[in-house]
Amino acid sequence: MEVWNDFMNRSGEEQERVLRYLEDEGKSKARRRGPGRGEDRRREDPAYTPRECFQRISRRLRTVLKRSRIPMETLETWEERLLRFFSVSPQAVYTAMLDNSFERLLLHAICQYMDLISASADLEGKRQMKVSNRHLDFLPPGLLLSAYLEQRS
């Protein structure tokens, strides 16, 4: 809770810097992590248990998820949107305009959990998030992040 309060007490610019840092950290880890966009090894090496999916989330985001009261309805809404979108169009890019920095943080965490790529950018004075699938098909985790967090509490 202390981390969340500290985050919310920062100015909008400071929040943006924190989120940009987290995004950059996620990108560099994704590059070091392994198979490229076309190489899908999930069937032969199923490292997709809920715990391993949670460990895929950056350490700082995991800390926020563990210590904060997460608005589960918001988390579930974003999970449903991404599931619906990528189940139908696994190679498309999902785009959302999000001014709320905490909602962007949640969406980045969901994307890391689902093994999706997310990036935020400024577009005409607003923050735009783009989400894409690094694989040819979309295989969501057996247990969604919201359910995993509820089990842990």
Interval 95-119 mean pLDDT: 95
Given pLDDT bands bounded at 50, 70 and 90, which one contains residue 116? very high
Give yes or no for residue 15 having a pLDDT over 90: no
Given pLDDT bands bounded at 50, 70 and 90, which one contains residue 1? low
Element (H, E) at 119: strand 116-123
Q: CA–CA separation, 85 vs 79, rounded Å?
A: 10
The predicted-structure confidence for 53-89, as pLDDT tens digits, reads as follows 999 999 999 999 988 788 999 999 999 999 999 999 9
Give yes or no for residue 44 having a pLDDT over 70: no
Given pLDDT bands bounded at 50, 70 and 90, which one contains residue 152? confident
DSSP 8-state code for residue 124 = T
| pLDDT, position 67 | 82
Q: HEC states along 16-56? A: HHHHHHHHHHHHHHHHHHCCCCCCCCCCCCCCCCHHHHHHH
